[in-house]
């Protein structure tokens, strides 16, 4: 027994097809962002190429990536963000930078991203709830932004905050999380070549429900580390307390590195359900890889650390 | 009214039977429509589980309704509701065992031992099993007084089911707590209702 697939095969983007499409984009036949209608004021993304250095798997269907989200600012259900973030206004977005760095102040996002190379990277995304996707992000290296902001030697950690605006974000009227959402990275993690500031996916601007206009992507960590709709960045000398750690310190840590050996106290992390967009009754579960399969890039940062203690 | 309902009992039961099958029909329909979110297995798990819980609360509501309305017809519907509770709980367990973990028995036993929410969920299902088996008329007669004792285990099952729900959510306790409050109210009704269990003097 198998459910009927209502989508055609070509909607599950094969890498080769996808590549051809990117070639077309590069050739300028289609301007980036032209596929995006809703907001005329969306961030203008400069031309971008795919970075093929990272492992490439069949991506999850775009429909699933953009309708199955955890973004509690817009509701607790997985389908809430797509519904409730429709009118989220991200025009003229700016980011406040503070703390131990030479360039503090408020930066206009449109102008800021002109300083960096935007590229496409296909990363695995593993949620702490034990499901996963494969997503083609558009973004620039956080390392480039950090170099640009010139942190001082006192900057040991980078701290992030999501926008706080209960009028626009109905979920912030509830008390699921002490708002605004907060996250942080150790400086070496932030400078790691994998760490991305994402401004889009599937070759288009970032959909509101996925964290428009700019979000963090750390593919070797659980999804909740990828803070969305970033409004504040601060260079700090102490390890910040991230939101999930504040809610349940015995269940969610600061590092949140994907690790099949270290279970969540209430469920196993050894396997995950890979969401592809093609449903069948079989082979839905795959083994979870240490650091989500990115050990070669990140394992050295955690050498000598007890991963059970520093979960 | 009383007599009318009893005369129409067959039809009442037939309607209830169809209503109880609706949640399953909707799951199957949505499955064929590709309408079970991006993570269909999670969705099927959640829907079968929540309907098992809702039907369990409905089953436990029959006695208070009978006491309040003096209409015995509610008790006549109780068995079907109880069996449908077990039916959805079994679908829920099967979804987990088959669709989710693909009959990986070592993981199944590890889950039962290591994960409190699965431990209590499994316990709830196991405790319902003897009740489902002894639900027919012959068993009721054969067990006599001990049938009642055996079926009082349902009070423990509702507590385990609520606990199962509370322990599996990430941070949003609202939904499981609503069900828990309803479940506890149904139990408290039995504790504080003096006429419960006694035969009314003027029938």
The DSSP result for chain B, as a single string, is: -HHHHHHTHHHHHHHHHHHHHHHHHHHHHHHHTT-S-S-HHHHHHHHHHHHHHHHHHHHHHHHHHHHHH--THHHHHHHHHHHHHHHHHHHHHHIIIIIITTT-HHHHHHHHHH-HHHHHHHHHHHHHHHHHHTTSHHHHHHHTHHHHHHHTTHHHHHHHHHHHHHHH-SS--HHHHHHHHHHHHHHHHHHH-TTTTSPPS--
The Cα-based distances of A142 to A32, A146, A190 in angstroms read: 22, 6, 6
Query: Which of A2, A67, A265, A285 to probe by mutation at the B interface, max B CB count within 10 Å?
Result: A285
CA distance B34 to chain A (A): 7
Regions in chain A scoring below 50 on pLDDT: 1-12, 16, 22, 24-40
Judged against a pLDDT cut of 90, whether residue B6 lies above it is answered with no
Q: For residue B115, list chain A residues with Cβ-Cβ distance below 8 A.
A: 266-268
CA triple B125-B126-B128, angle to 5 deg = 65
Residue with more model confidence, B192 or B169: B169
Q: How confident is the model at residue B197 (pLDDT cuts 50, 70, 90)?
A: low
Rounded Cα distance, A78 and B27, in Å:
18
Q: Look over chain B and give the mean of its residue pLDDT values, rounded to a whole number.
A: 92
- Give the whole-angstrom CA distance, residue A184 versus residue A253: 11
CA-based nearest residue to A133, from A205, A194, A210, A73: A210
Q: Which residues pair with residue A101 across a beta bridge?
A: A151
The beta-carbon neighbor of B99 closest among A7, A76, A281 is A281
Q: Is B99 within 8 Å of chain A by CB? A: yes
Q: Which helix (H) or strand (E) holds A200?
A: strand A196-201
Band (B203; pLDDT cuts 50, 70, 90): very low
Q: What's residue A25's pLDDT?
A: 46
Query: Given an 8 Å threshold on Cβ–Cβ distance, is A266 in contact with B39?
Result: no
User: Is there a contact between B100 and A284 if contact means CB atoms under 8 Å apart?
Assistant: yes
Mutation for B interface: A71, A76, A178, A244, most B CBs within 10 A: A76
- Cα radius of gyration (chain B): 18
Of A3, A129, A266, the CB nearest to B32: A3
Q: With beta carbons less than 8 A apart as the criterion, state whether B51 and B21 touch.
A: no
The pLDDT of residue A35 is 47
Taking the C-alpha atoms of residue A267 and residue A271, their distance in angstroms, rounded to an integer, is: 10
Coil/strand/helix, residue A47: coil
Q: What is the DSSP letter of A292?
A: G
What are residue A59's phi and psi, to 5 degrees?
-75, 155
Q: How would you classify the pairing of strands A196-201 and A131-141? A: antiparallel
| B134 phi/psi in degrees, rounded to 5 | -95, 25
Give pLDDT, residue A37: 44
Task: For A95-137, give the DSSP string.
Answer: EEEEESBS--EEEEHHHHGGGS--EEEEEEEE-TTSEEEEEEE
| Residue in B32, B102, B168 nearest the CB of A266 | B168
CA distance B46 to chain A (A): 12
Give the Cα separation of B101 and B84 in Å (integer).
24
Chain B residues touching A61 at Cβ < 8 A: 38
* pLDDT score at B200: 52
Residues of A in contact with B37 (CB under 8 A): 67-68, 78-79
The 10 Å CB-count burial string (b at 16+, else e) for B125-155 is beebeebbebbeeeeeeeeeeebeebbeebe
Burial of A216 (0-12, 13-18, 19+ CB in 10 A): buried
Token readout for B57 is: 């609360």
Residue at token pair 């099993």: B129
pLDDT at B5: 76
- The order of strands in the sheet holding A94-99 is A105-108, A94-99, A230-236, A157-162, A182-186
State how far the Cα of A246 lies from the Cα of A183, in Å rounded to an integer: 11
Cis omega before residue A277 (within 30°)? no
Mean pLDDT of the region B78-89: 97
Tokens of B200: 């009314």
Distance CA A138, CA A116 (A): 12
Give one word for A76, left, alpha or beta, with left for phi > 0 and alpha for psi -120 to 50.
alpha
B94 touches chain A (CB under 8 A): no
Cβ pair A78:B37 closer than 8 A: yes
Provide the CA B101 distance to its chain's centre, in angstroms. Answer: 24
Q: Are A74 and A81 in contact (CB under 8 A)?
A: yes
Asked if A273's CB is within 8 angstroms of B41's CB, the reply is yes
Which is nearest to A197 in space by CA: A232, A239, A230, A157? Answer: A230
Choose, out of A11, A273, A274, the residue to mutate when testing the contact with B (most B CBs < 10 Å): A273
In angstroms, rounded to a whole number, what is the distance separating the alpha carbons of residues A88 and A11? 27
Residue of B105, B170, B176 to mutate, interface with A, max A Cβ within 10 Å? B170
A64–B167 CB contact, under 8 Å:
no
β-pairing, A204-205 with A196-201?
antiparallel
Nearest by CB: A275 against B39, B98, B99: B39
A6 and B42 in contact by Cβ < 8 A?
no
Q: How far is CA A117 from CA A45, A95, A113, A142, A190, in A?
A: 10, 18, 8, 11, 17
SS3 category, A12: coil
Q: Are A279 and A246 in contact (CB under 8 A)?
A: no
Nearest Cα to B121, choosing from B174, B168, B78? B168
């Amino acid at each position: 027994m198998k459910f009927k697939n209502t989508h055609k095969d070509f909607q599950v983007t094969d890498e080769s097809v996808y590549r051809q499409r990117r070639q077309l984009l590069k050739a300028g036949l289609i301007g980036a962002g032209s596929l995006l209608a809703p907001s005329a004021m969306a961030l203008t993304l400069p031309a971008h190429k795919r970075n093929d250095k990272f492992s490439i798997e069949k991506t999850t269907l775009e429909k699933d990536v953009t309708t199955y989200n955890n973004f509690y600012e817009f509701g607790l259900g997985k389908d809430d963000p797509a519904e409730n973030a429709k009118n989220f206004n991200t025009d003229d977005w700016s980011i406040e930078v503070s703390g131990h760095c030479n360039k503090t102040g408020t930066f206009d996002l449109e102008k800021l991203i002109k300083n960096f190379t935007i590229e496409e990277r296909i990363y695995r995304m593993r949620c702490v709830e034990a499901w996963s996707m494969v997503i083609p992000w558009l973004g620039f290296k956080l390392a480039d932004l950090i170099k640009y902001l010139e942190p001082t030697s006192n900057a040991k950690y980078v701290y992030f905050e999501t926008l706080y605006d209960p009028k626009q974000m109905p979920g912030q009227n509830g008390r699921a999380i002490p708002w605004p959402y907060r996250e942080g990275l150790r400086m070496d993690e932030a400078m790691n070549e994998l760490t991305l500031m994402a401004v889009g996916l599937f070759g288009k601007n970032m959909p509101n429900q996925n964290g428009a206009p700019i979000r963090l992507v750390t593919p070797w960590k659980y999804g909740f580390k990828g803070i969305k709709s970033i409004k504040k960045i601060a260079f700090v000398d102490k390890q910040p307390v991230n939101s999930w750690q504040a809610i349940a310190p015995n269940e969610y840590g600061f590092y949140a590195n994907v690790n099949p050996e270290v279970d969540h106290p209430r469920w196993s992390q050894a396997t995950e359900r890979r969401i592809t967009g093609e449903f069948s009754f079989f082979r839905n579960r795959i083994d979870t890889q240490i650091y989500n399969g990115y050990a070669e890039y990140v394992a050295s940062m955690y050498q000598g650390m007890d991963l059970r203690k520093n979960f | 009214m009383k007599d009318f309902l009893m005369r129409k009992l067959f039809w009442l039961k037939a309607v209830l039977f169809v209503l109880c099958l609706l949640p399953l029909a909707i799951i199957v329909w949505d499955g064929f429509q590709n309408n079970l979110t991006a993570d269909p297995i999670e969705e099927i798990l959640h829907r079968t589980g929540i309907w098992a819980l809702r039907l369990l609360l409905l089953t436990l509501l029959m006695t208070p309704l009978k006491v309040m309305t003096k209409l015995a017809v509610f008790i006549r519907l109780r068995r079907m509701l109880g069996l449908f509770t077990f039916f959805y709980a079994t679908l829920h367990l099967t979804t987990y065992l088959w669709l989710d973990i693909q009959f990986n028995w070592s993981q199944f036993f590890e889950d039962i031992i290591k994960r409190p929410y699965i431990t209590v969920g499994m316990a709830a299902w196991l405790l319902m099993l003897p009740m489902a088996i002894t639900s027919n008329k012959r068993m009721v007669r054969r067990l006599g007084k001990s049938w009642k004792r055996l079926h009082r285990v349902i009070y423990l099952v509702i507590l385990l089911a609520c606990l199962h729900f509370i322990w599996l959510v990430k941070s949003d306790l609202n939904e499981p707590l609503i069900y828990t409050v309803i479940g506890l109210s149904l139990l408290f009704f039995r504790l504080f209702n003096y006429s419960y269990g006694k035969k009314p003097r003027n029938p």
